[in-house]
Amino acid sequence: LNKLAISKEIEEESYKIIDSLLKELKLPLGELAVVKRVVHATTDLDYSKELIFHPQAISNGLKAIYEKKNIITDVNMVRVGISNYEGEIICLIKEESVLIRALKLNITKASSAMREAKDLMEGGIVVIGNAPTALFEVCRMVENKEVKPALIVGVPVGFVGALESKEKLKSLSIPYITNQGRKGGSSVAVAIVNALLKLSRGENNV
Amino acid sequence: LNKLAISKEIEEESYKIIDSLLKELKLPLGELAVVKRVVHATTDLDYSKELIFHPQAISNGLKAIYEKKNIITDVNMVRVGISNYEGEIICLIKEESVLIRALKLNITKASSAMREAKDLMEGGIVVIGNAPTALFEVCRMVENKEVKPALIVGVPVGFVGALESKEKLKSLSIPYITNQGRKGGSSVAVAIVNALLKLSRGENNV
């Protein structure tokens, strides 16, 4: 793949600024790479204090990537933002069966899409960037031992349920990356996963 | 289209919280709808003070929507986030010709994609949620009278160029929606356009 010199320059300049702003931050290499990419994507320095990593999050995420396991996302915005992955990136929210189940059970489409993806999650990475209801549903399936992903990236955003769904995620014994508070969103989710992908290729991320 | 009761409830609860948080905010209906949707999508109240509207932004945006003009986006994350539009939503960043021009001229792919879309912009809405370089390029084309979109939604994010590209946009005599500062991003851009689409259908947005 050809690399654009200008894009590389802009990214390097951005990381220089981030390095100077976060020079006091001490974290393991993998976590630092994720934090910096989220700050790069959002310009929101709060994430340097608010991202929370399960101790096995980075290693489990990298293992899933090396093994080309599925990446399952809650919304298509997250799916299309993840780049340069050799495995499958899957979002089922637009499937007709997902809509039918959602209407029948009066659950959200995002939640229904998680149930639909149940058999695709084993050893993979589940990425929730939008819908608290999707994160609640994955947590429920993990608790019931219906699914066992390697890593859950849970950074839904919203005034309703986002905080609570992240608390639920942290209560589970499964590796996760999440954040404090009600912020988050597709761009944050994408930045976390793209940071892991760059790490897996040994590319500069910091 | 079937509507999910649960999603509607969550949205209504979210808007109740936003209404109570922003009860002092006085804005025309259209601008208020956009501000509230951005706050709903980000939970970031700063946007209630930082979004900036050209006086003709809402009316021109609605006109373009009624006429089903093209919506041109800088990145695919923005394209897939816009929902329920009867016109075309176009992002050319993955076209081979866009990459070839970018490499030849050493410009970013996002900037090259804007040039590629030149003949598609007349009377339409150009939406930049990610790349300052794309916004600079659209501004250049507007200044040179090469393009005349009805509205530019310019909320790129980043430490490098985002502020400057928004200053450039505000200096033009074309309707725009932008924000103060280096924040922004795909979710903000999508929220702005989806608010306009809901307004155009007379749906509750506030």
| Contact between chains at A6 and B108 (C-beta distance less than 8 A) | yes
pLDDT of residue B2: 56
What mean pLDDT is predicted for residues A69-76?
Answer: 98
Task: Give the phi and the psi of residue B103 in degrees, each rounded to 5.
Answer: -70, -40
Say which of A4, A77, A79 has its CB closest to residue B186.
A77
Percent of chain A residues topping a pLDDT of 70 = 98
pTM: 0.96
Cβ–Cβ < 8 Å for B25, B35: yes
pLDDT of residue B205: 66
**Residue B4: pLDDT over 90:** no
Mean residue pLDDT across chain B: 96
Percent of chain A residues topping a pLDDT of 90 = 94
Going by pLDDT thresholds of 50, 70 and 90, the confidence category of residue B204 is confident
Give the distance from residue A47's alpha carbon to the nearest chain B alpha carbon, in angstroms: 13
Choosing from B15, B25, B27, B40, the catalytic residue is B40
Residue of A nearest to B182 (CA): A43
Going by pLDDT thresholds of 50, 70 and 90, the confidence category of residue B128 is very high
Give the distance from residue A51's alpha carbon to the nearest chain B alpha carbon, in angstroms: 16
Residue of A nearest to B103 (CA): A4
What mean pLDDT is predicted for residues B133-159?
Answer: 98
Tokens of A165: 């769904």
Q: CA A54 → CA A31, A39, A115, A151, B178, distances in Å?
A: 10, 19, 24, 9, 37
* Interface size between A and B, measured as CB pairs under 8 A: 114
What mean pLDDT is predicted for residues B114-141?
Answer: 98
pLDDT of residue A69: 98
- Is A40 annotated as catalytic? yes
Tell me if chain B has a CB within 8 Å of the CB of A59: no
Cα–Cα distance for residue pair B88/B79, rounded to 1 Å: 10
**Residue B33: pLDDT over 90:** yes
| Contact between chains at B7 and A108 (C-beta distance less than 8 A) | yes
**Residue B1: pLDDT over 70:** no
pLDDT of A91-147, one tens digit each?
Answer: 999 999 999 999 999 999 999 999 999 999 999 999 999 999 999 999 999 999 999
Question: How many separate helices (H) and strands (E) can be counted in chain A?
Answer: 10, 6
